[in-house]
Amino acid sequence: MQTGGCADRPVALGRSALGWTAPGGGRKLPGMTERVPQDRAGTAGTCRADVLRANVLRAEVLILGGGMVGLSLALALGGAGLAVVLVDRNDPAEVVAAPYDGRASAIAYGSRRVLDGLGAWAGMAGAAEPILDIRVSDGDAPLFLHYDHRALGEEPLGHIVENRAIRQALHARLAEVAAIDLRAPARLADIAFAPGGVTATLGDGARIRASLVVAADGRDSALRERAGIPVTRWRYKQTGIVCTMGHARPHRGVAHERFLPAGPFAVLPMTDNPDGPAQGHRSSIVWTEDERLAPAMMALDDDAFSAELARRFGPYYGEVRVLGGRWSYPLSLLHADRYVAPRLALVGDAAHAIHPIAGQGLNLGIRGVAALAEVLVEAARLGLDIGGAEALARYERWRRFDAMALVAVTDGLNRLFSNAIPPVRLIRDLGLAGVNLAAPAKRFFMRHAMGMVGDLPRLMKGERL
Ligand SMILES: Cc1cc2nc3c(=O)[nH]c(=O)nc-3n(C[C@H](O)[C@H](O)[C@H](O)COP(=O)(O)OP(=O)(O)OC[C@H]3O[C@@H](n4cnc5c(N)ncnc54)[C@H](O)[C@@H]3O)c2cc1C
């Protein structure tokens, strides 16, 4: 048996000759030349790991983390023709299965436009319930804030979509974009940064060379840590309990947020139960609870848990019942001191993770995706280095202030509302009522919640990249 062909040797690379796709791994990109190593072509018994080691897959952007943000970025860049390798540690079949994530997300109007521009919205539209009204109340106080979508026109304020449906639609679209090479489940074993690019080695020995690596690997981002980027972070001592609630009366597209002393309790309108009429109307619950009490609530049987839901929301929904599983998430804030480092950009929760009080974490991530994709695609079209300092600085300048503002606002709102101190309560209730009466302020906040304020990237304006 010939073994000499297994030696690890460098492969000549060029920006347009994207190299060779590893066997059993990704798809071949259009225009890619397949470099057939001698040992692969002619040697019997050549081991796969050795073949993988001996070859380098060339991409323009390597994305680590295929959550909703990483998937969206891959679609934005791949759809514009950039060669992308997307790596995630989880099996795609698992992340779209029910137990993985019980959350539904409030997708703001601007984010819907982005998902539409990526060709992914159509795949989730059937599972998306329009938000027509938002009602914000403070416990049992009579003063409240009411947003009605008709104050701005015909468009709903946003949609509620189960995360599972979002992931399904993003993965389905991903399979149609030839420029994206998905490696999942896969592990990043090593990454080397050099002035001209990065070289990553995966657990199976595959090597990828790219001009830029994007960390979309969530709030505990290993890449962010590897780059030594400091963060500001704290725990909220609150737990987000999430489940789906079936209810007898229709929700009429109304999202409720009620502030209780332990934190906000949100009831978000979902599409009706596809499985039948019993409690056929559904809403997604995000129940913020004191972290010391949450385990006891999670341990209740379905009857007692459903009674707790009813106790917090009175008779508005008629008879209510928890449907399916329950999930709990420790809540925390995180903000990275920098969103970029040489040859590295942070996006999504890897850059900023916020309290779910306003349902904006993913929306913020999608906004970052739209901005980063625009910067990179423009740089590529101008023949500039897409991983160069200039492009990265533009991305950071564009996103930092907006994201920091939302981090601060959500943190402030949580502090203001998650207590029962009488003078604080009086001030915030007057504030709610004041905004409710001041039509221009109300319209501004509505446009903000819809993601339509500020220096919007093209995808958020409904334009092509
Ligand atoms: C209770 C709750 C309710 C929420 N509701 C809303 C809402 O209504 N609207 C909204 O906009 N936002 C909401 N959010 C926030 C939103 O869920 C997050 O902002 C969003 O999921 C972040 O997505 P991401 O892709 O950046 O990160 P993640 O979802 O954390 O994805 C990270 C990905 O990286 C992968 N990964 C991590 N490390 C590695 C590694 N070393 N190698 C390979 N892969 C790796 C993981 O497998 C994962 O797929 C809510 C959050 C909570 C907790």
Same domain, 327 and 263: yes
Kindly state whether residues 228 and 238 are assigned to the same domain. Answer: no
Instruction: Domain count for the chain, please give it.
Output: 2
Q: Note whether 117 and 191 are same-domain residues.
A: no
Going from the Cα of 426 to the center of ligand 1, the distance in angstroms, rounded, reads 35
Residue nearest to atom 28 of ligand 1 (CA): 218
Asked if residue 276 has pLDDT above 90, the reply is no
Q: What is the DSSP letter of 45?
A: T
368 lines ligand 1 (CB under 6 A): no
**415 falls within a domain:** no
Nearest alpha-carbon partner for 378 in 400, 362, 351, 398: 398
What are the start-end ranges of the H helices in 339-452?
Answer: 361-381, 389-417, 422-437, 439-449
3-state SS class at 102? coil
**Average pLDDT of span 325-345:** 97
405 confidence band (pLDDT: 50, 70, 90): very high
Is 457 within the bounds of a domain?
yes
Closest by Cα among 445, 426, 448, 425 to 437: 445
pLDDT tens sequence across 171-185: 999 999 999 999 999
434 and 380 within one domain: no
Q: Is the CB of 184 under 6 A from ligand 1?
A: no
The pTM for the full model equals 0.89
Separation between Cα atoms, residue 393 and residue 400, nearest integer Å: 10
| Model pLDDT for residues 183-232, shown as the tens digit of each residue | 999 999 999 999 999 999 999 999 999 999 999 999 999 999 999 999 99
pLDDT, mean of residues 231-253: 95
pLDDT digits (tens, 9 = 90+) for 92-129: 999 999 889 999 999 999 999 999 999 999 999 999 99
Q: Is 11 domain-assigned?
A: yes
Confidence of residue 314 (pLDDT cuts 50, 70, 90): confident
- Whether ligand 1 lies within 6 angstroms of the CB of 69 is answered as yes
Q: Which H/E stretch holds residue 305?
A: helix 302-313
pLDDT of residue 8: 29
8 Å CB contact between 115 and 72:
yes
105 lines ligand 1 (CB under 6 A): yes
User: Range of 344's domain?
Assistant: 4-93+169-232+336-406
| CATH code of the domain in which 223 resides | 3.50.50.60
Residue 291 has pLDDT above 90, yes or no: yes
Stretch 433-454: mean pLDDT, rounded?
80
Q: Is the pLDDT of residue 434 over 90?
A: no
CA of 67 to the centre of ligand 1 (A): 6
Q: Is residue 186 part of a domain?
A: yes
**Is 359 close to ligand 1, i.e. is its CB under 6 Å away?**
yes
Query: Ligand 1 centre from 11 Cα, in Å?
Result: 36
> Is the beta carbon of 451 within 6 A of some atom in ligand 1?
no
Does residue 150 sit in the same domain as residue 196? no
Using DSSP's 3-state secondary structure scheme, residue 321 falls into strand
For residues 228 and 256, membership in a common domain is answered with: no
Distance 68 CA to ligand 1 centre (A): 7
- The token duo for 427 is 């001030």
- What spacing in Å lies between the alpha carbon of 366 and ligand 1's midpoint? 11
Q: In ligand 1, which atom is closest to the CA atom of 69?
A: 25
Ligand 1 within 6 A of CB of 329: yes
Conformational region of residue 348, where left means phi above 0, alpha means psi within -120 to 50, and beta covers everything else? left
Three-state DSSP class for residue 205: coil
Distance in Å, CA 275 to ligand 1 centroid: 28
